[in-house]
Chain A
């Protein structure tokens, strides 16, 4: 039994595609559904799902890429840290090529900084154990799927009595940005494909207030192609019948209340604060910073550094992209001065970035 292949079933996808086509045939204005999770962005492109949907259904990407919604200042601080002596930066791979105001981690590594790619924050803890003479800073970027794993690493470091493990945290939470987008008159979304694993943590109930206030259907959807197509089908049915409820497509993993233990660990290690989302602005209570009792692990407090002046590239449309107002192909820099090898914005190089996906899979 392999729960990946079963949900990559060609026949089911074809059947769902046909059903969606039948349901929406002849509709004048297309239905616009937004996904807010980088993994959905990638899955949709990787499987070519847009080519299986009728023109009456439009899938757009929202602020689903945690690296992309993090303003340059974070990366500039990470770069300032990696230039410190006896300091190792541990990070997920997708941060390496993201451009800061004047450099990137990849370039800093080429110039001699110690930057290591890890698969799990626990690997970073192991590095700290093996290098007692150095400070290890893990770049904690991600939504509620990743934040608990980083909380876990801090608890593990505490249990080991480590004094050289730190996290530079820039976590953000759903569904606040979805509410902002729903209220924006320029964006007209007929339904949300809600993220699979974020929802496994926060629970499907988290979308109820937003759904009730704005009357937009929300379907918590898995990442495999059959899941995505079924999620779209469920949204289509709701949209056509004028309903707006929260439904769980990904029922094999997501529960209404979510993972209470992970939520408790998040509450223990992090505190909510008003985070700045690239393109959207500051959203109240939408970010997680390290709680006071775990201050010793907070890189921003424990290792003060001078950070260079913030420079955002003028032509970069990442902000508009993250609100779903602009698609990669609308950006004049896309594929010309902004490419994966020489990126101008994070959207082009994050492994969950909309432009990265479009460049790689849809040109």
Chain B
């Protein structure tokens, strides 16, 4: 079984999107998504379908918060 992988949308044609991770491209079907997706967005791709959008803003905030709180130096 393959884990859902965050991939970036390169192009969209109807229900199909070309997505990319690490320079590798594969098509993903968008029919399961309930969110609007545009080129440049990241989606989680599982078994050939996009199952969710990845909120990049939230990802950045989470990382920033974690780095502030959990870097070994900051914890003394």
A–B: direct contact at CB < 8 Å: yes
Interface string of A1-36 (1 = CB under 8 A from B): 111101101011011101100100000000000000
A146/B47 in contact, CB under 8 A = yes
Tell me the nearest residue of chain A to B55, going by C-beta. A252
B51/A145 in contact, CB under 8 A = yes
Given contacts A251-B55, A253-B54, contact A121 B47 (CB under 8 A): yes
B47/A259 in contact, CB under 8 A = no
- A170-229 interface with B by 8 A CB criterion: 196-197, 200-201, 223, 226
B75/A149 in contact, CB under 8 A = no
Is B39 an interface residue, CB under 8 A from the partner?
Answer: no
A120/B49 in contact, CB under 8 A = yes
Tell me the nearest residue of chain B to A4, going by C-beta. B6
Is B19 an interface residue, CB under 8 A from the partner?
Answer: no
Is A123 an interface residue, CB under 8 A from the partner?
Answer: yes
- B4-41 interface with A by 8 A CB criterion: 4-6, 21-22, 29, 31-34
Residue total for A at the interface (Cβ-Cβ under 8 A): 52
Is A260 an interface residue, CB under 8 A from the partner?
Answer: yes
B3/A149 in contact, CB under 8 A = no
Interface string of A225-260 (1 = CB under 8 A from B): 010001000000000000000000001111000011
A122/B71 in contact, CB under 8 A = no
B59/A252 in contact, CB under 8 A = yes
Q: How far is the CB of A233 from chain B (nearest CB, A)?
A: 8
Is A273 an interface residue, CB under 8 A from the partner?
Answer: no
- B37-73 interface with A by 8 A CB criterion: 42, 44, 46-49, 51-56, 58-59, 62-63, 66-67, 69-72
**Hey, which chain A residues are within 8 Å of B74, CB to CB?**
15
A197/B51 in contact, CB under 8 A = yes
Q: How far is the CB of B43 from chain A (nearest CB, A)?
A: 10
Q: How far is the CB of A199 from chain B (nearest CB, A)?
A: 10
B71/A15 in contact, CB under 8 A = yes
A12/B67 in contact, CB under 8 A = yes
B47/A1 in contact, CB under 8 A = no
Q: Considering the chains assembled together, what is the distance between the CA atoms of A254 and B32 in angstroms?
A: 15
**Hey, which chain B residues are within 8 Å of A121, CB to CB?**
47-48
Q: Considering the chains assembled together, what is the distance between the CA atoms of A145 and B32 in angstroms?
A: 11
DSSP majority for the A interface?
A: helix
B33/A261 in contact, CB under 8 A = yes
B34/A261 in contact, CB under 8 A = yes
Given contacts A4-B5, A18-B75, contact A262 B32 (CB under 8 A): yes
Q: How far is the CB of B75 from chain A (nearest CB, A)?
A: 6
A149/B46 in contact, CB under 8 A = yes
**Hey, which chain B residues are within 8 Å of A11, CB to CB?**
71-72
B1/A94 in contact, CB under 8 A = yes
Q: How far is the CB of A283 from chain B (nearest CB, A)?
A: 22
Is A148 an interface residue, CB under 8 A from the partner?
Answer: yes
Tell me the nearest residue of chain A to B63, going by C-beta. A6
Q: Considering the chains assembled together, what is the distance between the CA atoms of A145 and B71 in angstroms?
A: 33
Given contacts A38-B1, A351-B1, contact A253 B52 (CB under 8 A): yes
Given contacts A120-B49, A259-B52, contact A253 B29 (CB under 8 A): no
Q: How far is the CB of A335 from chain B (nearest CB, A)?
A: 23
**Hey, which chain B residues are within 8 Å of A152, CB to CB?**
29, 31-32, 49
Q: How far is the CB of B55 from chain A (nearest CB, A)?
A: 5
**Hey, which chain A residues are within 8 Å of B29, CB to CB?**
122, 152
A230/B31 in contact, CB under 8 A = no
Q: How far is the CB of A194 from chain B (nearest CB, A)?
A: 15
Q: Considering the chains assembled together, what is the distance between the CA atoms of A67 and B1 in angstroms?
A: 10
Q: Considering the chains assembled together, what is the distance between the CA atoms of A260 and B49 in angstroms?
A: 15
19 contacts across the A-B interface (CB closer than 8 A) = A3-B42, A3-B54, A3-B59, A11-B72, A12-B66, A66-B1, A92-B2, A119-B48, A122-B48, A148-B49, A149-B48, A155-B31, A197-B46, A223-B3, A230-B70, A252-B55, A259-B33, A262-B51, A352-B1
Shortest Cβ-Cβ A-B pairs, 10 listed: A120-B48, A15-B70, A261-B34, A252-B59, A3-B6, A200-B52, A252-B58, A120-B47, A149-B47, A149-B49
